[in-house]
Amino acid sequence: MKRVERAAIVDARLQELYPDPPIPLDHQDTYTLLIAVLLSAQCTDIRVNQVTPALFELASTPDKMMNVPVEKIREIIRPCGLSPRKSKAISELSKILMAKHQGEVPEDFAQLEALPGVGHKTASVVMSQGFGHPAFPVDTHIHRLAQRWGLSNGKNVVQTEKDLKKLFPESRWNALHLQIIYYGREHCTARGCDGRVCGICRELYPNRKSPVIWNKA
């Protein structure tokens, strides 16, 4: 089976399972989405959604957040991990949004990635889920599944993103990102499937004998 054929099967199965995938991070607007995605680094979405209500009750706009002491932000977001770095980034990016962007989250990849704590994946999530622009955010989970499904052999998320963008139409990128995440959590987990267990893995590789040793991002 060719890579493009595997991609077509993946696309069809995910559309059947998750026809209208919701955004897993609770947010009110692009600013709160940006903060939630920043907090989700090396943290589960469930934990982020448990933490953000208290944070956004304290400050849900950059003009309010910039005046909250970093120590207070850190205290609230501590359960998300990496709180010293994340709290500093939240404070600094809020100040930059007020000083350079009139308090608005920029609708631009370069300007987003110039903000403290915002890398390409975070910017991609905001551009796709916040502004509706075509983007294909690739995290470790998507990177792993893309290899199990034979959609990419990239050694890092950068190459995997390029491979997936070539395989799927631009109109599907935003939804596919979410659909793959949901499928990975529910059916093709790191410990629950090694490329031979879940439905999609078995359909794509019915004769696979050995577990997939994926190139870690």
Give the pLDDT score at 212. 85
Q: Is 139 a catalytic residue?
A: yes
How high is the pLDDT of residue 36?
A: 98
Nearest Cα residue to 46 out of 144, 185, 175: 185
Which of these, 7, 38, 26, 3, lies nearest to 124 by C-alpha position?
A: 38
Structure confidence by residue, pLDDT tens digits, 95-144: 999 999 999 999 999 999 999 999 999 999 999 999 999 999 998 889 99
| pLDDT for residue 154 | 87
Of 29, 139, 163, 166, the catalytic one is 139
How confident is the model at residue 4, as a pLDDT?
97
204: part of which helix (H) or strand (E)? helix 199-204
> What is the per-residue DSSP string for 137-198?
---HHHHHHHHHTTS---SSHHHHHHHHHHHS-GGGHHHHHHHHHHHHHHTS-TTT-SSSSS
Give residue 140's pLDDT.
87
Tens of pLDDT, residue by residue over 186-207, are 999 988 999 999 999 999 999 9
pLDDT per residue as tens digits for the range 22-41: 999 999 999 999 999 999 99
Cβ atoms of 83 and 52 closer than 8 Å: no
Alpha carbons 101 and 177: distance in angstroms, whole number: 28
Q: Residue 166 pLDDT > 90, yes or no? A: yes
CA distance linking residue 75 with residue 112, whole number of Å: 25
- Cα–Cα dist 30/47, whole Å: 19
Q: Which of these, 91, 102, 105, lies nearest to 30 by C-alpha position?
A: 105
What confidence score (pLDDT) does residue 31 get? 98
Q: Is 86 a catalytic residue?
A: no
Question: pLDDT tens across 49-99, in order?
Answer: 999 999 999 999 999 999 999 999 999 999 999 999 999 999 999 999 999
Given a cut of 70, whether residue 217 has pLDDT beyond it is no
> Furthest-apart CA pair in the chain: how many Å?
59
Task: Let me know: does 148 contact 213? Beta carbons within 8 Å.
Answer: no
Identify the active-site residue in 2, 20, 45, 121: 121
% of the chain with per-residue pLDDT over 90 = 92
Helix, strand and coil content of the chain, in percent to the nearest 5, comes to 60, 0, 40
Q: Which domains does the chain have, with CATH numbers?
A: 3-21+136-204 (1.10.1670.10), 30-130 (1.10.340.30)
